[in-house]
Amino acid sequence: MITQTIRRCGSWLVALSMVGWVVPLDAGWPARVDDQPLPTLAPMLERITPAVVNIATTTRLHIPDHPLLNDPVFRYFFDLPNLGNRREKMQRSLGSGVVVDAQRGYILTNHHVIDKSDTIQVALHDGRQLQAQVVGRDPETDVAVVRIAAQRLTALPMGDSNRLRVGDFVVAIGNPFGLGQTVTSGIVSAMGRSGLGIEGYEDFIQTDASINPGNSGGALVDLRGELIGINTAILARGGGNVGIGFAIPISMARQVMEQLVEYGEVRRGLLGIQTQELTPELAEAFRLDPASGGAVVTRVTGRNGSGDSGLRPGDIIIEANGRKIRNSAALRTVSGLARVGDPIRIKYLRDGKPSETVVTVAPPAQQQQIRGNGLDARLDGSVLELVDGGNGSDLLRVSAIKRDSTAWRIGLRPGDIILAVNQQPVTTLEELKNLASADRKKLLLTIQREQQQLVILVR
């Protein structure tokens, strides 16, 4: 049986056109053909490769002497102290990044390249090695920005990924398998790939380039040497490379990067509408061509600009801010990259007739549930939710937890109520995130478990 998996690992691309001659296998390549020099990408690559860097991260993993020592009930029953001196091991990983601002030292890479890392070391093309600091990260799009303090940096100019077409030649530069800077080649195989389950917001460039571990975060460039994508993942059957790779378009990465630099995070809002796919059955009912695609409005909440936009259930959204909307995922991507307060121009069909309106992105309602790693890496494997505590107050409860995950190993269990973080009371997910990020060295959780209060210390 052939299994199919999506792997994040990034690497990338370019090919040359055929020149119409044959060279004997035992002969060397001629310097010229018909008095014309052979085509080469060397001058362009010499100019841009200094902007692509190697990224090495280290993560400190705590190893308890015995699994039972992670259980707070077991420690309490036997009057054992909290785990303070646990064995540790260092986990190292490799990736790539692209210098996009030479003056400020900003490097664009993937979130998963630096996720959970304790140290980030950047190796430049000229041999310099520097420690990097995280500027911001966005797991939903797998984009992150780090910063180094260095002079004489080379930045890669950004191109326009919206102008890419299937068949365009592209070049990928990265650090596969830790070998050092490597250039690979291919073409654009498809645009706007989504529904792969890799990220929350997907609008990938697909390429046939050979992608290998360590290329994640590297540069995908066009033949002008302009950055048009960030290498991210491959589609693998049985773990091998089958020539299907994905890159985040620079149009998306740039929008995310601007918010990460300004706020340290991406501040997303709501359109206030719910949609579903335009299935062939629905298309027939609406007397539309199913191949045209679209997102069918199923509900208008009225909590923001959509309530005054004139949109109604049954409307079919076909375009947003000039981008063709083929499905609900495409609309979600457009709205997810917009800032709160931004207007989004919507084109839609009602009773087969086209119309236009403007919807304003509104602030999100208070989040009720989130995965633990969205708040702090030390809570990975848990799901936290706000529940009504009575008397008008809210409680922060662990609603689910994956066995043997990071959150499980520190002692959290389903049903635990988090009362305080680092001795500060918490009643919202935002408060927990702020308090946890204030002290990265330790995390002191006060929890309520049934009729008992416990304290969990995480270092």
Cα separation of 4 and 62, whole Å?
A: 32
Residue 125: active-site member: no
CB-based burial, 172-209: b 16+ in 10 Å, e otherwise:
bbbbbeeeebbbbbbbbbebbbbeeebbebbbbbbbbb
Catalytic-labelled residue, pool 142, 222, 315, 416: 142
Cα separation of 336 and 331, whole Å?
A: 8
CA angle 268, 271, 230 (to 5 degrees): 45
Cα separation of 294 and 323, whole Å?
A: 11
HSE value, Cβ hemisphere, 13 Å, CA-based, for 57: 23
CB neighbours of 97 closer than 8 A, spacing ≥ 6? 52, 53, 54, 55, 107, 108, 109, 113, 122, 146, 217, 218
Structure token pair of residue 144 = 């992150």
User: 439 burial class (0-12, 13-18, 19+ CB within 10 angstroms)?
Assistant: exposed
* Kind of pairing between the strands at 417-421 and 393-401: antiparallel
Question: For residue 152, which amino acid is it?
Answer: R
Cα separation of 235 and 196, whole Å?
A: 9
Strand 87-101: give its sheet, edge to edge: 129-131, 119-123, 52-63, 87-101, 106-109, 143-147, 133-138
Structure token pair of residue 51 = 């902007």
Catalytic-labelled residue, pool 161, 185, 210, 216: 216
Catalytic-labelled residue, pool 11, 112, 309, 416: 112
CB neighbours of 392 closer than 8 A, spacing ≥ 6? none
Write down the H helix ranges in 264-324.
280-285
Give φ, ψ of 175 to 5 degrees: -130, 70
* Residue 99: closest CA among 52, 160, 57: 52
CA distances from 375 to 20, 233, 275, 397 (A): 58, 24, 28, 14
Residue 112: active-site member: yes
Q: Are 122 and 53 in contact (CB under 8 A)?
A: yes
Q: Are 177 and 168 in contact (CB under 8 A)?
A: no
Residue 292: active-site member: no
Q: Which residues are catalytic?
A: 112, 142, 216
